[in-house]
Amino acid sequence: MIRLPRLRVSSARATLGYLKEHTPMPVKENVELMRRWFREVWNEAKVETIHELFSPDASLTGHYGTKSAIRGPHEFLPFVQLIRTAFPDIKLKVEDAFGAHDKVVVRWIATGIHSGEGFGPPSNKTVHVTGVTIARIADGKIVEGWDNWDQLGLLEQIGAYRPPAVLAKSA
């Protein structure tokens, strides 16, 4: 006969209380939250959405290449301002979005004219940059994020980077 451990009533109540407070949102709602994030933050320039959907202690990586993580809305805002200054007409299109459990993956493409300061003097060139964002959602807010986007391709398109001659000949 297999004996199962007996749970104390206080332990069971604590577990139920935790689950009640931290029940994950349905995946469909998490995916819609991320679609809203891209639409409002990037396409509509709604700064208030950053404060609403981005947890104060959230951590994001991949925005500044190998630099340290961005923490909270107060560190994310300068990144948004840098991009929007360099590309005032930026538009992001969500190509794919899907999720599992508390994570959402978004594949996107950004298009804009490099008509502002940032990333060097304005080149007035149209750029197309692709990226993938993975976000972890808790209690209706982004709490962690990982971005992988073609930063080198962006620099090449605006003329701020040229591949070495060896690479250019083989392409």
Is residue 54 in some structural domain? Answer: yes
Q: Is residue 74 part of a domain?
A: yes
CB 33 within 8 A of CB 56: no
Would you say residue 13 lies in a domain? no
The answer to whether 40 and 57 are in contact (CB under 8 A) is: no
Helix (H, G, I), strand (E, B) or coil at 131: strand
Give CA–CA dist 117/120, Å, rounded: 6
- Residue whose pair of structure tokens reads 């029940």 in the numeric block: 23
Over residues 69-78, the pLDDT tens digits come to: 999 999 999 9
Number of domains in the chain: 1
Judge whether 152 lies within some domain.
yes
In a domain, 18, yes or no: no
Q: Is 91 part of any domain?
A: yes
Residues of the domain holding 75: 24-162
User: Each residue of 12-25: pLDDT tens digit?
Assistant: 454 444 444 455 68
The answer to whether residue 102 is domain-embedded is yes
Res 4 pLDDT > 80: no
Residue 9 covered by a domain: no
Question: What mean pLDDT, rounded, does the chain reach?
Answer: 87
| Structural tokens at position 59 | 């951590």
What Å distances lie between residue 92 and 10, 15, 87, 105, 122, CA to CA?
A: 49, 41, 11, 15, 20
Residue 2's φ and ψ, nearest 5 degrees, are -90, 130
CATH number of the structural domain spanning residue 89: 3.10.450.50
The pLDDT > 90 percentage for the chain reads 73
Provide the whole-model pTM.
0.81
